[in-house]
Structure 1
Amino acid sequence: IVSRRWLEALLGRSIDPREAAECLTLHAAAVDAVVPLHQELGDVLVARVVEVRKHPDADRLSLCLVDPGGGAPPVEVVCGAPNVQTGKVYPYAPVGAVLPGGLKLERKKIRGVESNGMLLSAKELGLGADHSGILELDTAAPPGTRFIDAVGIADHQIVIDVPPNRPDLLCHKGVARELAAVLGGTVKLPPIPGAGGAAPAGGDAALGGRRRAPSARDGVAARAAEPGAAAGPSGRVISGVVDGVDVRLEDPEGAPRYMIAVIRGVRVGPSPQWLADRLTSIGQRPINNVVDATNYILFELNQPLHAFDLARLRGPAVIVRRARPGEKIVTLDSVIRTLTADMTAICDAERPTIVAGVMGSAESEVSTETKDVVLECAYFQPTRIRRTRRALGVSSESSYRFERGIDMLGMPDAVRRAVELIVAVAGGEQREPVLDLWPEPQQERTIFLRPDRVSRLLGTAIERSETEQLLSAVGFFVAPKEARLAVQVPGWRPDVTREVDLVEEVARLKGYDAFPDELRPYRPGTVPDAPEEQTRARVRDRLVRAGFLEARTLSLGPPDGPETVAIRNPLSAEEAHLRRRLLPGLIRSRARGGAGSGERVPPRRMDFRCGSTHGRPASAPLV
């Protein structure tokens, strides 16, 4: 599920949800539904309270003179909330408005005073559980503006049927990239409110930049070069220290790349409204500002993250190792789970704290008492995660992505974005650079593409420049290489491994409806048919020319002599044996004629049947 407004923030332009759904269906993946959000609040307006006074017959009620906007005169509304103040702006439902749940407001008297509508709390709007007071709005929208437009909650959920080979479509940036290629535009990560500047856009900010494995000159990679390697319980060990936290990678096969950042001095609490709205727009429940920040990165960049409470990590240490047989962990769903040696566990100095890539435990989770956070950003081996998830019978948003493969090369961008977001919403500071344990750095895959091969496979001429433009639009880096194109495949596309995959990319981006729909001459293969098949083809051709029709009959029927092969699980008693001859089946077909269709078989029609027959010695077993 992706949010229209979230996509608009990435694209820097408005989009029509129906048009976006059609583009995605035609060029990327099928869209199952477009669901409008908060349309039931369409009757609610922004109104300003111009006067508040006591109700003459009720101590706990007040009379509010409300400016509904639109040139209408102020109306009197009876209100029981104590927080309403003169000059403030609140959501207002006028007489005749229909609220969530189907309640239609009517003009009625309350303790002898007529109330013309209703000022609303968050609970009455369906936007939260708080009903202790009227929801105060922080907006410059004039009175009379629709509430959903003023606060920016008018949205649409676009439900995409993401195929298993396209993990890049599991996040908003990936979907926005596909829309930008078709509708035009550039994908940029929106600035984080309170961060003081634009967010780092990453190597594909303009969808054409190159990314590479870090070298020793890069800041992050320099940290990765410092740790030492030694033999450990699981073989090679990569280790390092970041801001006092000892990090050991004992299972590089299960975690080929592992990054840790430490943020000290955070203040855990409710998320700001913009962050909570982003998550609720895609059906996620806000938890607290730190956890919500990690979930935001998950759905924006497709990078699962995990935040530990540093004070609850024994050591303090983070150890990535194979789980020990019979080792137990209580996961966040309060279930005791038994691990096996085939699983990767994230542990502190004494015990496992996370089933890697699947689910964490309550023993190290972030709470309101948390002051220092250890942030994990990892790539876990997809097959290992898939087996672990199946063995434990538990699935999560993280495991769903890890087992399909995430962007290993994009991890530094994701962790920088996450640190910036956490500091913006929860405070604190990052005192040391991110620790990056990457024993075997990888480069982007390069595939050579022949432009003439593109035209030959697709059956229509595709200009070389158009091929370059289409591939560059979705993040491939294309460079001429003599008569070929050298195409660097971005890390978020693990499904593109061969030249023919690039040809398929060109076809889908150009649009399958742009290709001619007539069947053109083609040769299905270069190997000639077997002599027997050539003879059958000539016989069929001559019989058809003579006026015969080829019948297609089942290879099953009643018994036909002692050599008939019986079937153990027949569909019916009349079709319990393999045919020994073709003629009986052809006769039965003619006898049934057009049964069930209401048609009669012409008496002079001539049929023939080509096919295989079956027989066995009397002592042979059943099939």
Structure 2
Amino acid sequence: MKFTLSWLREHLETSATLDQITTTLSSIGLEVEGVEDRAAALASFRIAQVVEAVQHPNADRLRALKVDGGDGKLLSVVCGAPNARAGMKGVLALPGAFIPGTGITLKKGEIRGVASEAMMLSAREMGLGDDHSGIVDLPADAPLGQSYVQYAGLDDPIIEIAVTPNRGDALSVRGVARDLAAAGLGTLKPWGAEPVKPAYPAPLAWEIADPRACRWVLGRAVRGLKNGPSPQWLRDRLTAIGLRPISALVDVTNWFTFDLGRPLHVFDVAKVKGKTLTMRMAREGEELVALNGKTYALTAEDGVIADAAGAEALGGVVGGEPSGCDETTTECFIECALFDPVRIALSGRRHAVHTDARARFERGVDPALMPVALEAATRMIIALCGGEASAVSEAGAEPAWRRSASLRFERLAGLGGAEVAADEAVGILERLGFAVEARDAAQVTVAVPSWRNDIAGSGALTQAPGLSPERAAKAAEGCAAIEPEADLVEEVLRIRGLDTIAPVSLPVASPVPTAALSARQARAALARRVLAARGMQDCVTYGFLDQATAVLFGETPETLRVANPIAADLDQMRPTPVVSLLMAAARNAARGYPAVALSELGGAYRGTGLDGQLQVAAGVRTGETPRNWAAPARAVDAFDAKGDALAVLTALGVPMAALSVTADAPGFYHPGRSGVVRQGPKTVLATFGEVHPHVAAQLDIAGPAVAFEVFLDAVPEPKRRKKSAPELSTLQPLRRDFAFLVDAGIAAEAVLRAARGAERAMIADVALFDRYAGDKLPEGKVSLAIEVTLQPREATLTDAEIEAVAAKIVAAVTKATGASLRA
């Protein structure tokens, strides 16, 4: 919201300085975002007179001027403006001055052999508009040598404030002035408009065909007018706040939008088809050519203002071009309506239309202001354009907006944290426009003013201005009770100054702060760090891709198709992050980087339910392992992926002894070079392996590629046990090797599990260190060699005890797998 200081003073009687005003605005919740002082940039420019203007001797389009800047000294100026002539007065810039419109600092120079000691300025060069057709032409009585800023009244700072979504009343200069007056920074000037006596019947009638489109509307015509440029003061005001002056009729509606927060619209009566303007919902296939030059396809949820030919305006959002006013307009019809704030917001968002009218209607406007605002607009149009007014045309009725709210004085300290005297609190509310209905020592009941739609009260939901009964009923369903008292507490405290509230620390619930991350978040962060430590680059990819690629990695149910994809090839939720990483690896390979190690913490989508999205730590390695002096390069294999998966599980506290590996990996893995890591027979913690050659070929990956997935949601929470001192034996461990002859189909994991369980009190670790298959063994047999670590606890083991444990290990493995000890 922008306004000038002089504009504010039209509503606020105050002697406060600019600094006092801006400081108070921020203190009462209307945060100042910036102050633009145009006088500072234009301070050096002054009024000068052209004494002589002759043709430049060496250029057809230039003129050589002699200019008097007010000190009697004539300056030589070369000027290309076609309107430069002897005797005229304009604006002069001297060397060293910064020219805002061009961004240059003026220097003395010579143009085509003629000295140029200064510059005569156009409006655009001063940053005061778009006119660059010639230099500024001032009236003959403009005082020679005076500062142009003072002469033109440009020493008027522009203030910009941030307005919170609930404060529709603060989107008006008068609303801002009211808040400042309530804060003790002056007195709010009275405002009103005398009714205009009608000279003829209204040429257009209103009809509300659907109350969803509008609840109440007023209108009045003015005929015999001449629509031309607005007076300079009005153009200057609008230009200062960033609006482009268009014509007197349009500028008047913009003036009231900002001055009173009351959007208006004007129709050209001659362009309206029929004698009735109808408030209704848009029809199927209906379009609107708006004043901004765009065409909008309307929906049945859009409220429109229509004539006999169709929609003429998107109610409360933007007007239509066919019935707009221009320089040929001789009779206009002023529309002043009350719209549903929610419907305005939805329509504006649906069509991406951002207008000053929408910003105010969607926050709620003052319903009681409508009749007097129409009278004021009528008077202003007649004053600027001439003509005479018709009778007022009306449809609908003023909504029952009146409501009350109560404030218990003790709540100012209990809820707001500030001790405020009862008389001071009541005085603040009265200065804000609240009327006292009842008061005692403990509380006060006030009538809420019509412009404060954000203050809830008794009947507020069912009587809210502009809100349709249907939307009011829906709002009431979600509200068990309305608490207007908190709104009144806020009003009192902010007008006193938000900076006067003493800061109070929140009570400390515990001397030890609670964890900032949930267990799920902490595990995800830990998994990401582990993979980064293993040399993998963390990636962030889309959770969707094209359906043809997704089908290579799992099922693609119709329920996981994206209804409105951001691109045609991103129409399916991915079954696994592995596919996204492989596609990234393929892009790297195409650019000369075939060996990559990529990881991602992301989602895998299997269904639409709560359990259908899995949190997965996934990784991909392609090409060869890095070359270094310690080891030769080699192609990545399934064991690299297995090592990554197990590293994540180990970091998450999963006991490795409880895991088993099966060979039933998903179909996008190589069937003979992949596995599934399980905890128990049912719980799948991870998958790993080489990527299936067919899948790699489909993704244009030429070299070896391996991948893994760790399903973080399936990883059990580590048991929280009280930590005790570790049992560190004083005795040295000893190791024994066993080589078993087993069937080729027996998994090494089965041998390790059997050996580990043979004597749990004594066996500290079991590891596989060799697998041999060859012609020295019987057909269908392999040799698995394991190392068993024995850890004595109380005394050094004797040979007999060692032999006893060895016998138990051989017996356990033989029983579990049918193996025999290899000779």
Per the TM superposition, whether the score is higher than 0.5 is yes
What one-letter code is carried by the residue in structure 2 that aligns with 1:490?
Answer: P
Is 1:309 the counterpart of 2:268 in the alignment?
yes
> Once the 2 structures are TM-superposed, how far is the Cα of residue 380 of structure 1 from its aligned partner?
0.3
Is 1:501 the counterpart of 2:487 in the alignment?
yes
> Once the 2 structures are TM-superposed, how far is the Cα of residue 19 of structure 1 from its aligned partner?
4.0
Preserved contact between residue 252 and residue 439 of structure 1 (Cα < 8 Å): no
1:447 to 392, 402, 405: 405
> Once the 2 structures are TM-superposed, how far is the Cα of residue 109 of structure 1 from its aligned partner?
5.2
Identify the residue that residue 481 of structure 2 maps to in structure 1. Answer: none
Identify the residue that residue 171 of structure 1 maps to in structure 2. Answer: 172
Identify the residue that residue 91 of structure 1 maps to in structure 2. Answer: 91
Q: 1:512 to 1:128 in 2, by over 3 A?
A: closer
Preserved contact between residue 206 and residue 394 of structure 2 (Cα < 8 Å): no
Preserved contact between residue 271 and residue 288 of structure 1 (Cα < 8 Å): yes
Q: Counterparts of 1:499 and 1:551 in 2: how far apart (Å)?
A: 34
After superposition, the C-alpha distances for 1:197-245 in whole angstroms (9 at most, x for unaligned) are: xxx537xxxxxxxxxxxxxxx979x99xxxxxxxxxxxxxxxxx95221
> Once the 2 structures are TM-superposed, how far is the Cα of residue 371 of structure 1 from its aligned partner?
0.7
Is 1:257 the counterpart of 2:216 in the alignment?
yes
Q: Counterparts of 1:245 and 1:127 in 2: how far apart (Å)?
A: 40
Q: Counterparts of 2:513 and 2:178 in 1: how far apart (Å)?
A: 52
Preserved contact between residue 4 and residue 15 of structure 1 (Cα < 8 Å): no
Q: Counterparts of 1:8 and 1:572 in 2: how far apart (Å)?
A: 67
Preserved contact between residue 310 and residue 316 of structure 1 (Cα < 8 Å): no
Preserved contact between residue 47 and residue 144 of structure 1 (Cα < 8 Å): yes
Q: Counterparts of 2:486 and 2:258 in 1: how far apart (Å)?
A: 30
Is 1:463 the counterpart of 2:601 in the alignment?
no
Q: Which moved more, 1:3-12 or 1:168-177?
A: 3-12
Q: Counterparts of 1:516 and 1:8 in 2: how far apart (Å)?
A: 32
Q: 1:407 to 1:313 in 2, by over 3 A?
A: same
Percent of aligned pairs with the same residue?
35
Identify the residue that residue 596 of structure 1 maps to in structure 2. Answer: none
Identify the residue that residue 33 of structure 1 maps to in structure 2. Answer: 34
After superposition, the C-alpha distances for 1:74-118 in whole angstroms (9 at most, x for unaligned) are: 545455556556765421112332323233334445676644422
Q: Counterparts of 2:504 and 2:288 in 1: how far apart (Å)?
A: 61
1:510 to 496, 506, 512: 496
Q: 1:317 to 1:82 in 2, by over 3 A?
A: same
> Once the 2 structures are TM-superposed, how far is the Cα of residue 474 of structure 1 from its aligned partner?
2.3
Q: How does the TM-score come out when normalised to structure 1?
A: 0.73
Q: Matches of residues 150-161 of structure 1 in structure 2 within 5 Å?
A: 150-161=151-162
Is 1:475 the counterpart of 2:433 in the alignment?
yes
Preserved contact between residue 35 and residue 157 of structure 2 (Cα < 8 Å): yes
What one-letter code is carried by the residue in structure 2 that aligns with 1:367?
Answer: D
Q: Matches of residues 182-581 of structure 1 in structure 2 within 5 Å?
A: 182=183, 184-188=185-189, 200-201=191-192, 242-432=201-391, 434-483=392-441, 484-497=443-456, 498-518=484-504, 552=515, 554-556=518-520, 558=652, 559=654, 577=715, 579=717, 581=719
Preserved contact between residue 155 and residue 281 of structure 1 (Cα < 8 Å): no
Preserved contact between residue 139 and residue 150 of structure 1 (Cα < 8 Å): no
Q: Counterparts of 2:254 and 2:683 in 1: how far apart (Å)?
A: 61
After superposition, the C-alpha distances for 1:311-347 in whole angstroms (9 at most, x for unaligned) are: 0111132111222233232223444333333222111
What one-letter code is carried by the residue in structure 2 that aligns with 1:45?
Answer: R
2:720 to 561, 582, 586: 582
Q: 1:137 to 1:499 in 2, by over 3 A?
A: same
Preserved contact between residue 21 and residue 185 of structure 2 (Cα < 8 Å): no
Q: Counterparts of 2:340 and 2:723 in 1: how far apart (Å)?
A: 55
Preserved contact between residue 229 and residue 248 of structure 2 (Cα < 8 Å): yes
> Once the 2 structures are TM-superposed, how far is the Cα of residue 56 of structure 1 from its aligned partner?
8.9
Identify the residue that residue 537 of structure 2 maps to in structure 1. Answer: none
What one-letter code is carried by the residue in structure 1 that aligns with 2:90?
Answer: Y
Preserved contact between residue 171 and residue 298 of structure 1 (Cα < 8 Å): yes
> Once the 2 structures are TM-superposed, how far is the Cα of residue 21 of structure 1 from its aligned partner?
3.3
Identify the residue that residue 10 of structure 2 maps to in structure 1. Answer: 9
What one-letter code is carried by the residue in structure 2 that aligns with 1:458?
Answer: G
Identify the residue that residue 773 of structure 2 maps to in structure 1. Answer: none
Preserved contact between residue 2 and residue 171 of structure 1 (Cα < 8 Å): no
Preserved contact between residue 308 and residue 374 of structure 1 (Cα < 8 Å): yes
Identify the residue that residue 24 of structure 1 maps to in structure 2. Answer: 25
Count of matched residue pairs: 517
Preserved contact between residue 53 and residue 84 of structure 2 (Cα < 8 Å): no
Preserved contact between residue 229 and residue 247 of structure 2 (Cα < 8 Å): yes
Q: Counterparts of 1:177 and 1:104 in 2: how far apart (Å)?
A: 42
Flag the structure with larger Rg.
2
Runs of 5+ consecutive residues of structure 2 not aligned to the other structure: 457-483, 524-651, 659-678, 687-708, 726-823
Q: Counterparts of 2:91 and 2:422 in 1: how far apart (Å)?
A: 56
> Once the 2 structures are TM-superposed, how far is the Cα of residue 580 of structure 1 from its aligned partner?
5.2
Identify the residue that residue 44 of structure 2 maps to in structure 1. Answer: 43
> Once the 2 structures are TM-superposed, how far is the Cα of residue 359 of structure 1 from its aligned partner?
1.7
Preserved contact between residue 321 and residue 345 of structure 1 (Cα < 8 Å): yes
Identify the residue that residue 800 of structure 2 maps to in structure 1. Answer: none
What one-letter code is carried by the residue in structure 1 that aligns with 2:136?
Answer: L
Q: Counterparts of 1:584 and 1:72 in 2: how far apart (Å)?
A: 96
Q: Counterparts of 1:408 and 1:322 in 2: how far apart (Å)?
A: 22
SS in 1 for 2:364: coil
Which structure has more relative contact order (CA 8 Å, sep 6+)? It is 1
Q: Counterparts of 1:157 and 1:56 in 2: how far apart (Å)?
A: 41
Identify the residue that residue 608 of structure 1 maps to in structure 2. Answer: none
Preserved contact between residue 76 and residue 117 of structure 2 (Cα < 8 Å): yes
SS in 2 for 1:458: coil
> Once the 2 structures are TM-superposed, how far is the Cα of residue 572 of structure 1 from its aligned partner?
8.5
Identify the residue that residue 129 of structure 2 maps to in structure 1. Answer: 128
Runs of 5+ consecutive residues of structure 1 not aligned to the other structure: 190-199, 203-217, 224-240, 525-536, 588-623
Preserved contact between residue 344 and residue 356 of structure 1 (Cα < 8 Å): yes
Q: Counterparts of 1:580 and 1:124 in 2: how far apart (Å)?
A: 72
Q: 1:62 to 1:458 in 2, by over 3 A?
A: closer
SS in 1 for 2:299: coil
Q: Counterparts of 1:513 and 1:265 in 2: how far apart (Å)?
A: 55
Preserved contact between residue 318 and residue 347 of structure 1 (Cα < 8 Å): yes
Q: Counterparts of 2:113 and 2:252 in 1: how far apart (Å)?
A: 50
> Once the 2 structures are TM-superposed, how far is the Cα of residue 374 of structure 1 from its aligned partner?
0.6
Identify the residue that residue 197 of structure 1 maps to in structure 2. Answer: none
Q: Counterparts of 2:93 and 2:323 in 1: how far apart (Å)?
A: 45
- What do you get for the CA RMSD once the two structures are aligned? 3.8
Q: 1:112 to 1:349 in 2, by over 3 A?
A: same
Q: Which moved more, 1:394-403 or 1:445-454?
A: 445-454
SS in 1 for 2:126: coil
Q: Counterparts of 2:128 and 2:440 in 1: how far apart (Å)?
A: 60
Q: Counterparts of 2:425 and 2:371 in 1: how far apart (Å)?
A: 30
